[in-house]
Amino acid sequence: MIPFNKPHLTGKEFEYIAKAMESGKISGNGLFTKKCHAFFKQVYNFGDCLLTTSCTDALEMAALLLELKPGDEVILPSFSFVSTANAFMLRGANIIFADSSAEHPNIDPDCVEKCITEATKAIVIVHYAGMACDMDKLMSISKKHNVPLIEDAAQAIHAYYKGKPLGSFGDMATFSFHETKNVLSGEGGLLVMNNKKYIERAEILWEKGTNRASFYRGEVEEYNWLDLGSSYLPSELTAAFLYAQLEHVEEVTAMRLAYWQYYNDHLVDLEQEGKIKLPKIPSKSSNNGHIFYIICSSLEERKRLIAFLYDNGIMAVFHYLPLHKSPYYLREHKNQELPNAQHYGDCLLRLPLFYEITEEHLQYICSKIKEFYR
């Protein structure tokens, strides 16, 4: 079976974990956590950074930092992972779903602007497949209405818009290092704060609501319970693993892009014959090779293709069931139509793409997809 994903090692993971052990401290906020923070600031020019145990946790921290109250509204894409919505729901906010654009699963900025009301407290966007949303439009909507912008950049490590790294645009941004992402640590995440006003409180939320971080820096004589919080910081073992991966982010991205290009080059005739659609890279966006997807013509056709590939030893998966149609959301909200999110939810199919996939695999997968359509 060709799996959909397989986590990879880049070389120094175990060496760095051993170093963390030797340092005598493996709880959070030690040597490797600081190395990772410095890496993100230097390489991507991010604002203040805090590693988290997941992107989900980074989103939950962002929701706490926004000081949301019941009745506040948060605009976000329906075509996303549940965590993008859950984090804000947990604070009692009303989620307002915006549609994807017609050309790309990313959020449609015109739809965002139409959703803005007096109660809007944040706009959350997702750079799907590591491809940039229309940041010119979204930043100007955020400025014009004075509403903070949060980038869920879970899939967007080492990706750029007009040459500027994704994750450096929003008031805050979140990343994931889950084993299915380009750079991984099993479970893991990052909260980026490009707006200075969040860092002081964020450090307290991160450490269970205490000022332990400033205590360790010798700034206060004792640490105390000051605010809400949770245990959002990862262990040094996770940070050590992550740092080893970060050192190879360029090489991993280049390899994934080569696989992405292989799929694109070998499936383009199916697109020309009108059988499928291939991903369109939005203008001014780079590509980090996170996801290669095809768009089938119907839900029924996609089901048959998934089964056909499975019978031929290939795991291909769909992505996502739009959140506005989920059982949980519909329990308390009325049914609404977001046709583009629905279309991607019904027709988008992700093909296997991981660091150790081989050219033989790619060739075989493309030949089976062609066999299905011909």
Ligand X SMILES: *Cc1c(COP(=O)(O)O)cnc(C)c1O
Give the footprint of ligand X on this chain (CB under 6 A).
54-56, 80-81, 83-84, 126, 152, 154-155, 176, 178, 189
Q: Which is nearer to ligand X, 329 or 372 (CB)?
A: 329
Question: Which CB, 133 or 369, lies closer to ligand X?
Answer: 133
Residue type, 261: Q
Nearest distance from C-beta of residue 222 to ligand X, angstroms: 33
Rounded Cα gap, residues 205 and 200, in angstroms: 9
CB-nearer residue toward ligand X: 44 or 372: 44
Nearer to ligand X, 267 or 316 (CB): 316
Q: Residue 211: CB partners within 8 Å, gap ≥ 6?
A: 203, 204, 220, 223, 224, 226
Nearer to ligand X, 48 or 152 (CB): 152
To ligand X, the closest distance from the beta carbon of 180 in angstroms equals: 7
- Which amino acid does the sequence have at 175? F
Least Å from the CB of residue 56 to ligand X:
3
Task: Quote the distance between the C-alpha of residue 112 and its chain's center.
Answer: 19
* Rounded Cα distance, 55 and 174, in Å: 6
Pairing assessment for the beta strands 164-165 and 160-161 based on DSSP bridges = antiparallel
Residues 224, 210: Cα–Cα separation, whole Å: 5
Residue closer to ligand X (CB basis): 152 or 236: 152
Judged by DSSP in three states, 135 sits in helix
CB of 55 to ligand X, least distance (A): 3
**Minimal distance, residue 372 CB to ligand X, in Å:** 27
3-class state of residue 33 by DSSP: helix
Dist CA 277 CA 279 (whole Å): 7
C-alpha–C-alpha distance, residues 171 and 122, integer Å: 10
**Cβ-based nearer residue to ligand X, 189 or 361:** 189
Least separation in angstroms between CB 281 and ligand X: 18
Looking at beta carbons only, is 252 or 369 nearer to ligand X?
Answer: 252
> Nearer Cβ to ligand X, position 62 or 305?
62
The Cα angle at residue 289 between residues 183 and 341, in degrees rounded to 5: 105
Long-range contacts of 362-366 (CB under 8 A, 24+ apart): 362/259, 362/262, 362/263, 362/266, 363/266, 364/2, 364/314, 365/2, 365/263, 365/309, 365/314, 366/262, 366/263, 366/266, 366/267
CB 174 within 8 A of CB 191: yes
Minimum gap (Å) between residue 156 Cβ and ligand X:
9
With CA atoms as reference, report the closest residue to 39 among 246, 254, 206: 246
To ligand X, the closest distance from the beta carbon of 91 in angstroms equals 17
Report the half-sphere exposure of 230 (CA within 13 A, side-chain side): 14
Nearer to ligand X, 155 or 245 (CB): 155
Task: Measure the CA–CA gap between 147 and 166, rounded to whole angstroms.
Answer: 19
Question: At its nearest, how many Å lie between ligand X and the CB of residue 193?
Answer: 18
Specify the residue for token string 């768009």.
295
Q: CB of residue 140 vs ligand X: minimum separation in angstroms?
A: 23
